[in-house]
Amino acid sequence: MLEAQRAAFFAELPVSLAVRRDRLTRAADLIEQHGDALCAALVADGANRDAESAWLAEVAPALGILRAAIDGVGAWMDRRVRRSLIARLGGGDHIEHLPIGVVGISVRGPMPLVQAVDGLAGALAAGNRAVLQFGAGSPNLSDLIARLLPDFFDALEVTIVPGGVLADGAVDLLATGGQVGGGAGGVMLSGRSAAILGRSADVAAAADNIVAHRRSGGDPWFPAPDYLLVPDDQEEAVAAWLWRAAMEPAAGAARPVHHDPERLARLLDDARARGGEVMAAEARGAGLPLYIIRHARADMLVLREAVCAPILPLCNYARIKDAIAALHEGPPPPALHYFGRDAAERRTVVQRTLSSAIAINGRTPSMGKDAMAIPDPIDSGEAGFRRFSRTRLVVGLPIWGLSI
């Protein structure tokens, strides 16, 4: 079920405001229409003394949480850090909030209904799919919600599982008793930085930018690409331009690369054995050669193991949706670099991928890190939305419809 939820999540990106409000409204309808039954379950579990106290302590606050999310989610989605007229018109550097994927909400301790709804409201407002899990102290509430959920939600939207299932790390983010695990908000998630070259890319300029970025090591906001996704009919040209760029003398002192020579040889030998073509480019003053691997495949060690070596694999794709699907097969990249002048394709990449940062055509941030910081949430509802969102820095996005 969790893999089916994850597939449905990626297929739906981007998650619209209307969809988020609809899901929040259905959650509120469940609570409102079955308030008496929820109170009875809470009393049976010993969470509340009587039905009246259960209503006042849990059911009414749960409804308030959901209604606040319905009213506020539009503003939360649009609250971006922008510093220019171009940014306000839809381009420029800004920070946005993306959904994370499948969120697990593990409910423990007192006030189980409020805990569950508080997590669910934040998760759905942020555009996620959700999995609920109640502790052993709430058997009646868990059974009741399990019976009610199918009347309001498809199982691919919100489902409930027995205790213990969520502890295996199968979900993209796990919230337990107010604590969030698995990487949320502005935390850089695990994964490898990637670059997508569209068919409309200026390949020569992209190659120069990528090689320069690799030599410098990038920065904490934008790590250099670890691998490239390139159109299958342009791979030869892309590899040639990368080789030429890597053969040019380094403009400044190259960042030293610390690596194990034996491991480097093992990675390159494995790539060759699996059909890869290795091109070595060594410029004077650039340090180690850059090893460009054509025809890179997912089963190569260089794409399966953590690599700190001067290796740049090129993975082919036929259609842009295939490149996006390849990204979704692993953890979201810390940084995603897109090169291309096709506005529609660029919009697809921005809207249908997840990453902690995305740069368009090699642009760099125009504002400092302090200026990019997001202000604190103005209320607890927005705090929940942020809790279940992935923060992404977007750099170099033009006004929609204009090519750069």
- For the chain, domains (ranges, CATH) are 2-181 (3.40.605.10), 194-355 (3.40.309.10)
Determine contact, residues 229/196, Cβ cutoff 8 Å. yes
The closest of 355, 233, 348, 215 to 283, measured between CA atoms, is: 215
Q: For 311-324, what is the mean pLDDT? A: 96
Q: What is the pLDDT of residue 141?
A: 96
Average pLDDT of the residues of the chain: 85
Confidence of residue 93 (pLDDT cuts 50, 70, 90): confident
Q: For 176-203, what is the mean pLDDT? A: 68
* Angstrom distance (rounded) from CA 125 to CA 17: 8
Q: What is the pLDDT of residue 399?
A: 58
pLDDT digit string, tens, across residues 329-340: 888 898 999 999
Q: What is the pLDDT of residue 287?
A: 63
Q: What is the pLDDT of residue 330?
A: 85
Contacts of 133 (CB under 8 A, 6+ apart): 104, 105, 106, 107, 160, 161, 162, 163, 165, 166
Confidence of residue 189 (pLDDT cuts 50, 70, 90): very low
Confidence of residue 375 (pLDDT cuts 50, 70, 90): very low
Please identify which residue in the block is written with the tokens 């498809």. 154
pLDDT digit string, tens, across residues 140-154: 999 999 999 999 999
Count CB neighbours of 270 within 10 A: 16
* Angstrom distance (rounded) from CA 101 to CA 159: 14
Confidence of residue 184 (pLDDT cuts 50, 70, 90): very low
Q: What is the pLDDT of residue 186?
A: 35
Confidence of residue 309 (pLDDT cuts 50, 70, 90): confident
Q: What is the pLDDT of residue 119?
A: 94
The closest of 168, 24, 21 to 106, measured between CA atoms, is: 168
Query: Residue 231, preceding bond cis, omega within 30 degrees?
Result: no
Q: Where in 62-151 does DSSP place strands (E)?
A: 94-99, 102-107, 129-134
pTM for this prediction: 0.81
3-state secondary structure of 141: helix
Please say if the pLDDT value at position 168 is more than 70. Answer: no
Q: What is the pLDDT of residue 22?
A: 98
Q: What is the pLDDT of residue 185?
A: 39
Q: For 85-107, what is the mean pLDDT? A: 76
Please say if the pLDDT value at position 200 is more than 70. Answer: yes
Please say if the pLDDT value at position 195 is more than 80. Answer: yes
Kindly state the greatest CA–CA separation across the chain. 80
pLDDT digit string, tens, across residues 6-46: 999 999 999 999 999 999 999 999 999 999 999 999 999 99
Q: What is the pLDDT of residue 224?
A: 87
Q: What is the pLDDT of residue 2?
A: 84
